[in-house]
């Protein structure tokens, strides 16, 4: 798979608490801090999205779709003077997949939801996403809104296979939004921005396609079609990481997932991500993840009990 598919597959979005909102008059919903992706798709009307600490609110119009990947608090409102109510308390009053009516409705209508993010070590990858992915109306409105509506339908009227289909729809929604954001040139730094640079994308694709290979900076530069020094400088400028540091972190995230979700031995996991020595793998894993492979496996097993 390509890097974006690899990473989003490991993210495993969960907790698809999507609901509709039909709001009228002055209104505001306050969302407390949470680790995950919050999604809002505006069908009719306009509203404002303000992130905690942001200098200005973001205006959302009919057809816009926005993903908020920051773990901070945020407010969705008709105007900044409106008195906010607790969003979770208000929205939990209606079943998933149904529409909540605020102040009689009639002015702004849309769909909103939250994806909790699973996957061991994904916080390190997740942190590299832009805090807000704002896709303007007309960019990929049909595909994005169709995914949100289908997800709503599966939640409101679950049928056999709905849980699996909801997972796929959630991932599709995230992929389409990130693609649109990349195509619009709105991502300035991080691994996601590197995918929009052909030379760097070739190197990232090569790393993800053969993660166990003994990659060197020279070999990656050759794949990118650049000199060693130019490639190293450009990769770090765009992603904020050196190529080898990125590769090492991705290997550990992948190893963590394999230890948590398979019966592979730690030795086999180490070999699968390019380490022939258990000790070298263990030292690197602990440096990147903060705990040993053995402890990670124990914690993963305990969480399944």
- With contact defined as beta carbons under 8 Å apart, do 178 and 115 qualify? no
| pLDDT at residue 283, rounded to an integer | 97
What is the pLDDT averaged over residues 114-137? Answer: 71
Q: How confident is the model at residue 14 (pLDDT cuts 50, 70, 90)?
A: low
CA distance 69 to 190: 14
All structural domains of the chain, each given as residue ranges with its CATH number in brackets, are 3-183 (2.60.120.280), 193-303 (1.10.10.60)
Which residues, listed in sequence order, are joined to residue 222 by a DSSP beta bridge?
none
- With contact defined as beta carbons under 8 Å apart, do 152 and 18 qualify? yes
Q: Which of 3-12, 102-111, 173-182, 226-235 has the highest mean pLDDT?
A: 226-235
Name the phi and psi angles at 223, rounded to 5.
Answer: -60, -40
104 token code pair: 């009689």
Q: Going by C-beta distance under 8 Å and a sequence separation of 6 or more, which residues neighbour residue 150?
A: 169
For residue 139, pLDDT over 60 is answered with no
What's the whole-model pTM score? 0.75
Q: pLDDT tens across 39-94, in order?
A: 888 888 999 999 998 889 999 998 888 888 887 899 999 998 999 999 999 998 88
Q: pLDDT tens across 258-277, in order?
A: 998 888 999 999 999 999 99
Minimum mean pLDDT among 173-182, 245-254, 280-289: which range? 173-182
What is the pLDDT averaged over residues 107-115? Answer: 87
Minimum mean pLDDT among 24-33, 149-158, 236-245: which range? 149-158
| pLDDT at residue 140, rounded to an integer | 53
Three-point CA angle 133, 9, 210, nearest 5°: 110
Terminal CA-CA length for the chain:
31
Q: Going by C-beta distance under 8 Å and a sequence separation of 6 or more, which residues neighbour residue 19?
A: 91, 94, 96, 97, 98, 99, 100, 111, 112, 113, 152
Three-point CA angle 232, 221, 236, nearest 5°: 20
């Amino acid at each position: 798979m390509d890097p974006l598919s690899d990473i989003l597959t490991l993210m495993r979005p969960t907790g698809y608490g999507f609901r509709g909102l039909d709001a009228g008059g002055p209104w505001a919903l306050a969302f407390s801090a949470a680790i995950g992706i919050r999604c809002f798709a505006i069908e009719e009307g306009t509203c404002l999205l303000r992130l905690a600490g942001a200098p200005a609110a973001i205006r959302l119009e009919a057809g816009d779709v926005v993903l908020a990947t920051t773990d901070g608090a945020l407010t969705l409102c008709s105007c900044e003077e409106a008195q906010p109510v607790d969003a979770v308390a208000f929205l939990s009053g209606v079943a998933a997949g149904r529409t909540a009516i605020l102040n009689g409705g009639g002015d702004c209508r849309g769909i909103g939801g939250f994806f909790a993010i699973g996957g061991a070590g994904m916080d390190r990858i997740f942190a590299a996403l832009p805090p807000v992915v704002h896709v303007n109306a007309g960019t990929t409105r049909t595909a994005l809104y169709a995914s949100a509506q289908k997800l709503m339908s599966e939640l409101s009227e679950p049928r056999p296979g709905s849980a699996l289909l909801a997972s796929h729809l959630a991932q599709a929604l995230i992929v389409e939004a990130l693609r649109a954001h990349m195509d619009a040139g709105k991502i300035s730094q991080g691994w996601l921005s590197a995918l929009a640079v052909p030379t760097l994308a070739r190197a990232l694709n090569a790393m993800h396609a053969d993660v166990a290979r003994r990659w060197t900076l020279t070999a990656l530069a050759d794949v990118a079609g650049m000199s060693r020094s130019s490639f190293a400088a450009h990769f770090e400028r765009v992603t904020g990481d050196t190529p080898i540091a990125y590769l090492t972190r991705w290997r550990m995230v992948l190893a963590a997932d394999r230890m948590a979700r398979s019966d592979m031995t730690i030795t086999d996991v180490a070999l699968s991500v390019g380490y022939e020595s258990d000790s070298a793998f263990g030292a690197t894993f602990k440096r990147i993840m903060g705990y040993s492979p053995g402890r990670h496996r124990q914690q993963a097993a305990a969480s399944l009990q």
